[in-house]
Amino acid sequence: MPQSTDTHSTAAPDLFTPLRLGAIELPNRVVMAPMTRSRAGEGNCPTALTAEYYAQRASAGLIITEATQVCDTAQGYPNTPGIHTDAQTLAWRAVADAVHDAGGRIVTQLWHVGRISHPRFQPNGAAPVAPSAIAAKGQLYTGAGMEPFPVPRALETAEIPGLVRHFADAAKRAVFDAGLDGVEIHAANGYLIDQFLRDSTNTRTDRYGGTVENRCRFLLEILEATAHAVGADRIGVRLSPTGVFNDMKDSDPLPHFLAITKALNPFNIAYLHVIEGRPGHHMAPPEGAPHVASALRAAFKGPFILNGGYSRGDADAALAKGEADAVSFGEAFISNPDLPVRFRADAPLAEPDRTTYYGGDAKGYTDYPALESVAA
Ligand SMILES: Cc1cc2nc3c(=O)[nH]c(=O)nc-3n(C[C@H](O)[C@H](O)[C@H](O)COP(=O)(O)O)c2cc1C
């Protein structure tokens, strides 16, 4: 088992036991999962509403922001924020300040969508880039309706160091210029890094493809560069080993992701965040696929965050059994800005309105009340 990261008590932890993730001290283990809300403003900058939304959720042990572009080829959906221009960085500074003023902690999730994009989102209408020229099955929303995923352009080997630098530059902007507490590297859910990790989307024959060691080289190079830029104790990594979202699969996720997880250990990152849906959850491993989270937990030497359809009771049980050090909650945080307060008070949870998840304004974003205003 990994060493206990609970520095405050010897009793089995629950959701309200403090926890240290690298350089970040959490007052509780109720983590807000990253969620794209497609409400960025002009120039893909977070807005005053974004700052209000995250500040409302400052009672989370840690807020992980929506996925945020590291460069201008990284976007695949309308109105998602970036952190590669000065204006975007300044706008994130306002978000970080608002969360810190409200007593919270916030890291930003850094992503590049890879093939999950469209020429409409790319500079000069170019094809999106990916490890291999394999299109995802299905369609994406481009702002002009639903359109089929295009065939991406396979990256040249010589282009990869440039992408690695974009992640490191974005991490520097996040921590030193915007004042965020750290970054989470988005290596999950079928986006660029996950496309490198899994063998259904990576058929490269250079040093970034073939063996699992080669497939995780891109992620490890990103970790090395971002750790050099901001310190490994401010970096988390998110993985979804059995996720099928964005037409993903892998021929043998258990040994592959075990090898990837072991390769993370020498970096001493702040945490590993794994999505493996609870039974019946839409992110649960597909029928017949192995469950891998417990094996990754055992293999990873640092703090471990689990996600995927957890209730308060499931989460406390997982912590008590040592299956995780913290649990992240997605949809519950959309409609319950004060989720930890409600958990502690055993108060009922508000149901989120799915029609307002992506895009729009304050409705379904900042207008969910906190408990005291519900009770008042
Ligand atoms: C509206 C919405 C947007 C999401 N956007 C992201 C994202 O930007 N990055 C990411 O890693 N996961 C994203 N997810 C997945 C969530 O982080 C989480 O894994 C999922 O909701 C399962 O957790 P839950 O059952 O507690 O909601 C999103 C989920 C939702 C509902």
| pLDDT tens track for 84-133 | 999 999 999 999 999 999 999 999 999 999 999 999 999 999 999 999 99
Task: At 264, list the tokens.
Answer: 């993370």
The residue extents of the domains of the chain are 19-375
The residues that are catalytic are: 191
Class of domain 19-375: alpha beta
Q: What is the DSSP letter of 322?
A: T
Q: Measuring from atom 5 of ligand 1, which residue has the nearest CA?
A: 35
Ligand 1 center to residue 205 CA distance, Å?
33
Q: What is the pairing mode between strands 19-21 and 62-69?
A: unpaired
Q: What is the pLDDT of residue 373?
A: 65
Q: Measuring from atom 7 of ligand 1, which residue has the nearest CA?
A: 35
For residue 153, is pLDDT > 90?
A: yes
| pLDDT tens track for 213-259 | 999 999 999 999 999 999 999 999 999 999 999 999 999 999 999 99
On average, the pLDDT of the chain sits at 95
Q: What is the DSSP letter of 124?
A: G
Q: What is the pLDDT of residue 1?
A: 40
| Percent of the chain predicted with pLDDT > 70 | 96
CB 307 near ligand 1, within 6 Å? yes
Ligand 1 center to residue 157 CA distance, Å?
31
pLDDT band at 10 (very low <50, low <70, confident <90, very high): low
- Which amino acid appears at position 16 of this protein? F
CA distance 237 to 153: 26
| pLDDT tens track for 249-306 | 999 999 999 999 999 999 999 999 999 999 889 999 888 888 999 999 999 999 999 9
Ligand 1 center to residue 34 CA distance, Å?
6
Q: What is the pairing mode between strands 139-141 and 146-148?
A: antiparallel
Q: Cα dihedral angle (290, 295, 297, 298), rounded to 10 degrees?
A: 170
CA distance 30 to 340: 6
CB 193 near ligand 1, within 6 Å? no
- Angle between helix 48-56 and 86-101 (nearest 10): 30
- Angle between helix 217-230 and 253-264 (nearest 10): 30
CA distance 72 to 95: 21
Q: What is the mean pLDDT of residues 64-83?
A: 98
Q: What is the pLDDT of residue 3?
A: 45
Which residue's structure tokens are 């990754």? 296
Ligand 1 center to residue 365 CA distance, Å?
15
Q: What is the DSSP letter of 41?
A: B
CA distance 16 to 13: 8
Q: Choose which residue among 31, 35, 328, 343 to substitute to test ligand 1 binding: the one with the highest number of ligand atoms within 8 A of its C-beta.
A: 35
For residue 111, give the nearest of 167, 72, 149 by alpha carbon: 167
Element (H, E) at 91: helix 86-101
